[in-house]
Structure 1
């Protein structure tokens, strides 16, 4: 049998021992020091100048003076002398006046910490799914002197990292990354059927909403892409090939749904034929200003063809630039491009194919930013009425395959003006050169319009 107990090292009273009270008192003194252990300090490495009788202290690293060589031991001041007790792993000490505990881990004393626990309930019980539960009026997450972040992490893009707001433990709103890496907000009135109110694309930052009237405000120009073969109208339309839209109508809707912030929006058309199921109508112009640019192939304007049964493009407001595309329809009377009052169309390197009419300017304005080609006949190439304006801007026009105009190359009436001075015409056409009436004016500047029949002037029309 040993002389001391295995854990606290308290001395045993031996058989036939004299002065048993000495051994017994030593054991009591040891118990008095370590049972319900309270220390006065835990972070000092030198004895206090005036230690408390019976006071206990934890010796910090690099013990000094009477505490030299006693690092991490318990120093007890008793009977005007220091006594040292070697702690065992797992011992706990309360630090007087600090309202905290320290635990000996076998090497050093550490502040007690909560880690790798199965669950935590504050004011309520946790369960196997909700591992942390807090039932209180409020929860405060404060900074430690600067900023503060709350992180919600998920393992893969297909998982969910979100905040759910409930009424009576039934979901009413959820925001976060739900089954992908787009940031979304959705709402529900019953916790069963959910409606997406807002989505921010994780790759592009593009904002889409489920509520009419919300618009993304652009901070720079935006381009949408259209590819009739590889594109899809379910995508964003902001990339080429499979990332493009499939239809022009979808691209136009995306453009008109934005607030441009004064920036231009371009619809880039891949080579192919785009047979319109509905008119491309720009009735209000772009919100926020800027031009809508519809452009095709830079090397061959005929490579991207926009065709319709009747009207293809109608611009009633705003500014639209048509560049390097072929325009045609199968109508016998309607123009492929119509520009109404408050609308303006700029043409640059376009091609006009067969059509009921090529351009109908009813109070609007058409100006040329570059030359264009005519490769198909029509009832008229240009009809200007209701005070409309055509400004050729001295740009060239090329006619191929001798297009025929059954009415006239230009019809100009109702105080409208067609300026063709300075324009050069290459090639030939058949039909009447012009028909002027009701104060319409053609400013020819000495030019001869295409056609093989003289023009006519009546009721105030002027050809100058």
Structure 2
């Protein structure tokens, strides 16, 4: 009688008697080795209490009923032990270790070490992969470590490669599958960290320019200011912008001038200038100016035509600077346009220069003025401008405030009326208006100076300023 080559199964021979014995023996071997289930592979002798069908890998040095059977498979059959030699390719499940092993080159190794997982179409660990998410993992933790087994180089690098600048390569962090943060290269070559409250609109928290390596913080940094390495322009577009944008281009413009002011106030200009370029349109907002660090900021209408950009809040002041430092510069805009507005420019500190501004209608009360400077504020007209609407006053310098317009042409359109006075200086305030050309008439009293307030016109005379009524002085006020 002969046996099979691999499992040593006994073969029945011609004219063999009691063929069932040979057949049953073959079945016993098959039952022991096919789907081999090893209860343990570390025992030297039986622990006792085994049942038929239990199988073990005999450890060395074997003793007791397993003596001399080291490395063989012990299987209990009919209350006794039978031993089988393992062969290459035999796979076994080790119950107490919850692992699979395979016999290779005369020894046992972990089955996982022999699996060549190459070019798999999908791989899901703890979950199901899809055609678009070909690798899917559900786990409390995922570990990546350098190769300390082969060993390798000691390095550990994860690479995310995208096809072109316009594509994305990065990490998306989500809560309930709603994106809250994006980190990486999104839409270009610059490294960005973006955050969101709704998964739809994102704010750039950090940007690294891939060409220069310069780091910027478009939304500002608490306690740390971004320092500019060159002049910067922010863009505002009331029709097409969004205050959640970064404002760094016309395509990603802010919606309000105030958002542009906030962005500039959050940086250190480091000797450079910043510009807020405002697209044509009407902006119904009070713009609160803030401290500037390291440079001056220009807020200007993008077209250069003053009437194209109208700043017209529902009340209060159009541009308001309270307790600030630094120099602001307004250009190419129209301010006012409602008697509910008290002042077009109101400063109690800092410096503001303006040019090519249209001053429109404001409220008629005595303390309502197109230009109002109080305290340490300095407001300067540095180029020609126009007055297209009246109000209480055109210029009002109070309590050491200073307003200066020197050698400019001021065009008055439509005979604006000033119900208080055209120019007022009070309590050491100074209105400096020498050598100007006033083109066009106005109605109302020309000037009023009191409590050592000074209006200086360089001796041009009592009729020099616009108006149709004589000016007055009181309490050591000066008009010279």
Fold similarity call, TM over 0.5 = yes
Distance 1:302 1:236 in 2: 27
Match of 1:190 in 2: none
Shift of 1:220: 0.8
What residue is the counterpart of 1:314 in the other structure?
A: 320
Alignment partner of 1:433 is 2:446: yes
1:422 is matched with which residue? 435
Tell me what 2:472 maps to: 456
- Tell me which residue corresponds to 1:446: 459
Aligned in 2, Cα 1:302/1:153: closer, same or farther, shift over 3 Å? same
For 2:383 and 2:219, how far apart are their aligned partners in 1?
39
> How far did residue 213 of structure 1 move?
3.2
Change (3 A) 1:376 1:163: closer
Separation in structure 2 between the aligned mates of residue 163 and residue 235 of structure 1, nearest angstrom? 19
Matching residue of 2:42: none
Q: How far apart are 1:201 and its partner, in Å?
A: 6.5
2:358 corresponding residue in structure 1: 351
- TM-superposed CA distance for 1:391, in Å, is 1.5
Instruction: Indicate the residue corresponding to 1:295 in structure 2.
Output: 300
Q: Aligned ranges for residues 40-59 of structure 1 at < 5 Å? A: none
Within 2, Cα distance between the matches of 1:267 and 1:175?
27
C-alpha displacement at 1:197, in angstroms? 9.7
Give yes or no for contact 2:441–2:467 (8 Å, CA) kept in 1.
yes
* Equivalent pair of 2:378/2:402 in contact (CA under 8 Å): yes
Q: CA deviation at 1:454?
A: 0.3
CA distance change for structure 1 residues 423 and 379 in 2, over 3 Å: closer, same or farther? same
2:229 maps to 1:224: no
Select the residue among 371, 374, 385 that pairs with 1:372. Answer: 385
Report the secondary structure of 1:350's partner residue: strand
Measured after TM superposition, the shift of residue 244 of structure 1 is: 1.7
Q: How far apart are the structure 1 equivalents of 2:407 and 2:209?
A: 48
TM-score, normalization: structure 2? Answer: 0.58
Mapped partners of 2:312, 2:228: distance in 1? 30
Unaligned regions of 5+ residues in structure 2, if any? 1-114, 119-124, 127-134, 174-180, 196-201, 364-368
Whole-Å separation in 1 of the counterparts to 2:309 and 2:148: 64
Find the aligned partners of 2:262 and 2:207 in 1 and give their Cα distance: 18
Q: Is residue 272 of structure 2 the alignment partner of residue 263 of structure 1?
A: yes
Q: CA deviation at 1:440?
A: 0.5
Q: Which residue does 1:335 correspond to in 2?
A: 343
Alignment counterpart, residue 259 of structure 2, candidates 235, 250, 253: 250
Q: Is the 8 A contact 1:311 1:329 kept in 2?
A: no
- How far apart in 1 are the matches of 2:454 and 2:282? 37
Q: CA deviation at 1:234?
A: 2.4
Equivalent positions of 1:56-455 (< 5 A) are 118=117, 134=145, 151-154=159-162, 160-161=169-170, 176-177=183-184, 183-184=191-192, 198-200=205-207, 206-208=216-218, 212-240=222-250, 242-276=251-285, 279-284=286-291, 286-287=292-293, 289-308=294-313, 309-316=315-322, 317=324, 318-331=326-339, 334-341=342-349, 343-356=350-363, 357-363=369-375, 364-447=377-460, 448-455=464-471
* Superposed displacement of residue 398, structure 1: 0.9
SS at the partner of 1:324? Answer: strand
Alignment RMSD, CA only?
A: 3.8
Contact 1:184 1:196 in 2 (8 A): no
Q: What secondary structure, in the 3-state scheme, does the structure 2 residue paired with 1:312 have?
A: strand
The 3 A distance-change label for structure 1 pair 383 and 152 is same
Q: Which residue of 1 aligns with 2:52?
A: none
Give, in whole Å, the separation in 2 of the partners of 1:209 and 1:333. 31
Q: Structure 1 unaligned runs (5+)?
A: 1-115, 120-125, 165-173, 188-194
The Cα of 1:214 is off from its aligned counterpart by 3.7
**Could you tell me which residue of structure 2 aligns to residue 92 of structure 1?**
none
